[in-house]
């Protein structure tokens, strides 16, 4: 089992996972912004991409190849479709894992129309031989198709029409430099600010015909881990609650009550995240403690703790990975409403804090 499979499996169960589950896939098409103007946030990326596309359009040329990197659910697939729409070009969608042989790629490339956008998702998972064919295709719009095997094999050069490759990756660091260098424009997508997520939520609520108050949207945004996909998913779950338990209107109280049912806390931590933090604080005094020990304490696989729970805890500054083991930060104690052992010893200090 590889890393991605592990992540996918847990994705099915977690409301705050950033990967797409089946329901997401079904509704996302309806919620995707269709052009750059509708795309919320990512100001820098949007501005730069707008220039790249406008300039290409003005020249009547095909846009340069674009690499989109960023965590799951931040809008890479959405942007690729926007690029095609803005260029008024058809789009062909494939992914790294789908291209195992160079021949698979040759078949796709040779059937592209002039100006077409080829979206290659998870580009870091393409096979080596396919990657090398892609270098030449991107640079010279040409591929060598190998016919035959062994010493008798011959390379038949094939001209390709100009096309725009849009590559997406969650792990830009895994891309070989020669591939990275062949993109004319690289967009790194950041996590979204709460205010941007509020706008995403209002927009989606509108499309889903859900009534939501500003406070309700703010409450959901704060728990969405900087990720539009999670914001949209939490919105749907809160909508369900509002329909069943109230009159359908999403207020702050409704959002809070609904997300309490789903065990997503004020900061977007779910049961697993909190379990890891709680074990670290209550059983190990905040650490340092080894990953394996911590995993046993929460009754999870090592990989689940390390790959599913920890990245967000680290990002939020609640947990640190040190050479001696996992350590909780002061913010972790505060978030769970617990007192770190050190400060308990200086009990008088607390009185001073309250000015008594
Ligand atoms: N800037 C945005 N404005 C509004 N909605 C957005 C934005 N970015 C993403 N979304 C919404 O979030 C959902 C997920 O986005 P998308 O599928 O593009 O993410 P992704 O980066 O391709 O994720 P993955 O790495 O899993 O493929 C989409 O349904 C889209 O509606
Ligand atoms: Mg995607």
Mean pLDDT on 16-25: 87
One CATH from 3.60.110.10, 3.50.50.60, 1.10.10.10, 3.40.920.10 for 271-341: 1.10.10.10
Residues 299 and 279 sit within 8 Å (Cβ to Cβ): no
Domains 42-188 and 194-261 alike in fold: no
Structure tokens that stand for 212 in this block? 């939501």
96 lines ligand 1 (CB under 6 A): no
Residue 14 has a pLDDT of 87
- What DSSP letter does each residue of 4-64 carry, written as one string? HHHHHHHHTT-TT-SS--HHHHHHHHHHS--STTT--S-HHHHHHHHHHHHHHHHHT-PPP
CA distances from 81 to 124, 229, 288 (A): 20, 16, 45
Residue 344 has a pLDDT of 53
Ligand 1 atom at minimal distance to the Cα of residue 18? 26
Q: Determine whether 251 is an active site residue.
A: no
Which ligand has the minimum distance to the alpha carbon of residue 75?
Answer: 1
Percent of the chain at pLDDT exceeding 70:
93
Residue nearest to atom 9 of ligand 1 (CA): 75
Considering only residues 149 and 185, tell me which one the structure prediction assigns the higher pLDDT. Answer: 185
Mean pLDDT on 27-46: 93
Residue 111 has a pLDDT of 94
Q: Which of 62, 164, 169, 170 is catalytic?
A: 170
d(CA 204, CA 222): 16
Ligand 1 atom at minimal distance to the Cα of residue 170? 25
Give the model confidence (pLDDT) of 309-352 as tens digits: 999 999 999 999 999 999 999 999 999 999 988 765 444 444 44
What are the start-end ranges of the H helices in the chain? Answer: 3-11, 22-31, 43-59, 76-86, 102-110, 128-140, 177-181, 194-208, 214-222, 228-245, 252-261, 271-278, 291-298, 302-303, 310-315, 330-335, 341-345, 347-353
Q: Determine whether 229 is an active site residue.
A: yes
Residue nearest to atom 23 of ligand 1 (CA): 73
> Is 3.90.950.10 the CATH number for 42-188?
no
Percent of the chain at pLDDT exceeding 90:
79
Residue 157 host element (H or E): strand 154-159
Residue nearest to atom 12 of ligand 1 (CA): 229
Cross-strand bridge partners of residue 118: 92, 165
Q: Determine whether 170 is an active site residue.
A: yes
- Cβ atoms within 10 Å, residue 69: 22
Residue whose pair of structure tokens reads 């359009």 in the numeric block: 57
Handedness of CA 226, 229, 232, 233 (dihedral sign): negative
d(CA 17, CA 288): 26
Give the model confidence (pLDDT) of 52-102 as tens digits: 999 999 999 999 999 999 999 999 999 999 999 999 999 999 999 999 888
Q: Confidence class of residue 10 from pLDDT cuts 50, 70 and 90?
A: very low
Mean pLDDT on 172-201: 94
d(CA 23, CA 39): 22
Q: Determine whether 121 is an active site residue.
A: yes
- pLDDT at residue 354 tops 60: no
Considering only residues 155 and 281, tell me which one the structure prediction assigns the higher pLDDT. Answer: 281
What pTM did the predictor assign? 0.89
Which ligand has the minimum distance to the alpha carbon of residue 236?
Answer: 1
Mean pLDDT on 275-295: 95
Ligand 1 atom at minimal distance to the Cα of residue 74? 21
Question: Taking all residues of the chain, what is their mean pLDDT, rounded to a whole number?
Answer: 90
Residue nearest to atom 30 of ligand 1 (CA): 32
Nearest to 221 by CA among 191, 179, 244: 191
Residue nearest to atom 13 of ligand 1 (CA): 229
Mean pLDDT on 144-152: 84
Considering the segment(s) 194-261 as one domain, its CATH architecture is Orthogonal Bundle (1.10)
Ligand-binding annotation for 192, yes or no, is yes
Q: Confidence class of residue 11 from pLDDT cuts 50, 70 and 90?
A: very low
Instruction: Return the domain boundaries, the chain.
Output: 42-188, 194-261, 271-341
Considering only residues 213 and 3, tell me which one the structure prediction assigns the higher pLDDT. Answer: 213
Mean pLDDT on 280-308: 94
102 Cβ partners below 8 Å, 6+ apart?
127, 129, 130, 132, 133, 146
40 lines ligand 1 (CB under 6 A): yes
Mean pLDDT on 160-164: 96
Residue whose pair of structure tokens reads 């290659």 in the numeric block: 120
The residue whose CB lies within 8 Å of the most ligand 1 atoms, and thus the one to mutate among 20, 34, 78, is: 78
Q: Which of 229, 233, 239, 274 is catalytic?
A: 229
Structure tokens that stand for 119 in this block? 């979206």
Q: Confidence class of residue 149 from pLDDT cuts 50, 70 and 90?
A: confident
Q: Determine whether 76 is an active site residue.
A: yes
200 lines ligand 1 (CB under 6 A): yes
Residue 341 has a pLDDT of 82
Mean pLDDT on 215-224: 97
Ligand 1 atom at minimal distance to the Cα of residue 29? 29
Which ligand has the minimum distance to the alpha carbon of residue 24?
Answer: 1
259 Cβ partners below 8 Å, 6+ apart?
219, 220, 223, 234, 237, 238, 265
Mean pLDDT on 191-195: 96
């Amino acid at each position: 089992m590889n890393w991605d499979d592990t992540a996918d499996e847990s994705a099915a169960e977690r409301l705050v996972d950033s990967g797409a589950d089946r329901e997401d896939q079904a509704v996302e098409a309806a919620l995707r912004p269709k052009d750059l103007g509708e795309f919320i946030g990512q100001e820098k990326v949007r501005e730069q991409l707008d220039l790249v596309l406008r300039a290409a359009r003005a020249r009547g040329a095909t846009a340069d190849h674009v690499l989109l990197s960023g965590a799951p659910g931040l809008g890479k697939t959405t942007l690729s479709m926007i690029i095609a729409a803005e260029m008024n070009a058809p789009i062909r969608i494939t992914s790294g894992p789908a291209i195992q042989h160079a021949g698979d790629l040759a078949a796709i490339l040779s059937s592209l129309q002039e100006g077409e956008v080829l979206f290659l998702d998870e580009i870091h998972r393409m096979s080596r031989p396919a990657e090398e064919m892609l270098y030449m295709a991107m640079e010279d719009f040409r591929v060598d198709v190998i016919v035959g095997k062994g010493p008798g094999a011959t390379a038949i050069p094939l001209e390709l029409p100009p096309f725009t490759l849009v590559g997406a990756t969650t792990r830009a660091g895994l891309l070989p430099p020669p591939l990275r260098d062949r993109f004319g424009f690289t967009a790194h997508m950041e996590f979204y600010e709460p205010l941007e997520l509020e706008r995403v939520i209002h927009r989606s609520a509108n499309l889903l015909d859900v009534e939501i108050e500003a406070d309700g949207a703010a409450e959901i945004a704060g728990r969405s881990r900087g990720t539009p996909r999670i914001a949209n998913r939490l919105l749907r779950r809160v909508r369900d609650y509002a329909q069943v338990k109230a009159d359908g209107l999403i207020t702050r109280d409704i959002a809070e009550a609904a997300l309490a049912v789903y065990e997503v806390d004020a900061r977007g931590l779910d049961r697993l995240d909190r379990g890891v933090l709680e074990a670290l604080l209550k059983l190990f005094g905040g650490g340092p403690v080894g990953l394996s020990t911590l995993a046993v304490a929460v009754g999870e696989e090592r990989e689940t703790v390390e790959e599913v729970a920890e990245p967000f805890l680290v990002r939020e500054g609640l947990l640190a990975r040190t050479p001696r083991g996992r350590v909780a930060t002061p913010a972790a104690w505060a978030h769970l409403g617990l007192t770190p052992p050190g400060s308990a010893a200086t009990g008088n200090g607390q009185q001073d804090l309250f000015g008594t």
